[in-house]
Structure 1
């Protein structure tokens, strides 16, 4: 994991939240990724996603098919991906879902269509452990948190259960409706009535689908975040500029970003070491690694380093 912060000199008369990052000075970078491995991708526009009408009525069914993760004093429940995917495939009215298309194509990634949100990736588990071991429960009180590229939403759910107000973003609306929302509900207090659960969601969370660039534009007037959590989101070099711009556009002046990722992603070219070099070249952020581990991840003799990086937005101010 690494951290990074803005390297922007700030005039004392300026409002830190209104300062425009140099990332946005290059309009070519700020709109769409430069041509490369993936070309002519029609990325989904961003939209806010509300709970489906039958979400509450299916909660008991979800409860029977959920598992638990214990992190210190915090227990997180989540749907088992295999059960969920089989359930989706069995329903003929859900044949147009992007999740279903990915299953039929036996692929976790379909450019512009599906970005692997049904799977809980390895770095998410590591970042959850890091949060539980390094941050006191009191840290989360009153914080605004964004779980970016959330998938199952476990990072945001951990923050939510410890007192933060949390927004969730994933590329696929299907993932938010059929995975993230159910997982959030599974972790609300059982004593709450159905109406109280929906009221809690309305007051404490917002869920957004779509491309990062469009998400940043959609939420331009929404209060910025104290903390952005993101895991396994740097594998596509084509999208890294948009990711950095999202950090710049959605993070408070004293906020932090925690990024968990592998040192290398086979077959797609991205990786944390490469991403760190991109940050340095941009001269906008600072970053540092605060945790790392070597793991054999089904790649023969390859041991892949997993990092957690810490990024602090200080706009030229010293820590």
Structure 2
């Protein structure tokens, strides 16, 4: 067993209070992998909303935080409340998230991929979308929030008028985090059962490994736009990610990727990823935005050549 340590500065309490996403205090991020064991990645499956969502809707409403992204008003569960609630309950559904919290590991290869937290680059991409595209850009578009975690990118597109599907590696992230957040963003005047019906019919939710997800959805309509944040850190998974883009993107569609320039300890990063893209000669990459403060971050657009 060996560990990769991300070198992330721990924010003080004032930084957390000012964050638009109410990020919990970060412990040092770690990736735990088996050095001598082949990783068995989870098979893909479509995840259906459960009745528990309706039973817990009042609790979600009481523990939601509001945020404004341009002209779009959004709500999401407070991460601190969410993780404490998951740790306090012994349901089997939350096994991967609980394992992450118990081992203080945000990433456990093949087991858990960090979906319970809102990462910095999601904030970057939301800001970019709000400043760059108006609602006409999203109308009648099919959007995939890939590696969605909390689902904020997809929710932004959904509230802007797009048809959105959500994908995350962990089923419990979808059930405990993504779906509640989507529910919180339906019109308040809708009855609870109407909100659940919308969740069942207007979006699809997929769990599992990207290669299996691609196979599971190969006969379904492709996407106009794929949004993804902080998904390129693992070099070994980058080709699977690119294959997913290639197989699930319409010929005239585009992918928007938000990521850090370097992920300490695992070797991946935005510049390195762009070189992989260029070598593959499937996509053309366009740098859209870059931040130089602290750890460099950026947003890149991919289009099929």
8 A Cα contact 2:225 2:249, kept in partner? yes
**CA-atom RMSD in angstroms:** 1.5
8 A Cα contact 1:149 1:169, kept in partner? yes
Distance in 1 between the 2:244 and 2:266 partners?
21
In the alignment, structure 1 residue 257 sits paired with structure 2 residue 248 = no
Using the TM superposition, give the Cα deviation of residue 96 of structure 1 relative to its aligned residue in structure 2, in angstroms. 5.9
Distance in 2 between the 1:97 and 1:144 partners?
31
The total of aligned residue pairs comes to: 272
Aligned to 2:56: 58
Q: Taking CA–CA contacts closer than 8 Å with sequence separation of 6 or more, which of the two structures ends up with the larger relative contact order?
A: 1
Question: What does residue range 92-241 of structure 1 map to in structure 2 within 5 Å?
Answer: 92-94=90-92, 97-241=95-239
After TM superposition, what 4+ stretches of structure 1 lie above 3 angstroms from structure 2?
36-39
8 A Cα contact 2:107 2:114, kept in partner? yes
Cα 1:262–1:133 change in 2 (3 A) is same
How does the TM-score come out when normalised to structure 2? 0.87
8 A Cα contact 2:49 2:200, kept in partner? no
Aligned to 2:5: none
How does the TM-score come out when normalised to structure 1? 0.83
8 A Cα contact 1:88 1:94, kept in partner? no
8 A Cα contact 1:38 1:111, kept in partner? no
Distance in 1 between the 2:93 and 2:248 partners?
34
Aligned to 1:311: 302
8 A Cα contact 2:284 2:302, kept in partner? yes
Distance in 2 between the 1:69 and 1:93 partners?
30
Distance in 2 between the 1:191 and 1:181 partners?
19
Using the TM superposition, give the Cα deviation of residue 295 of structure 1 relative to its aligned residue in structure 2, in angstroms. 2.7
Cα 1:254–1:190 change in 2 (3 A) is same
Using the TM superposition, give the Cα deviation of residue 307 of structure 1 relative to its aligned residue in structure 2, in angstroms. 0.7
Which one has the largest radius of gyration?
1
In the alignment, structure 1 residue 85 sits paired with structure 2 residue 83 = yes
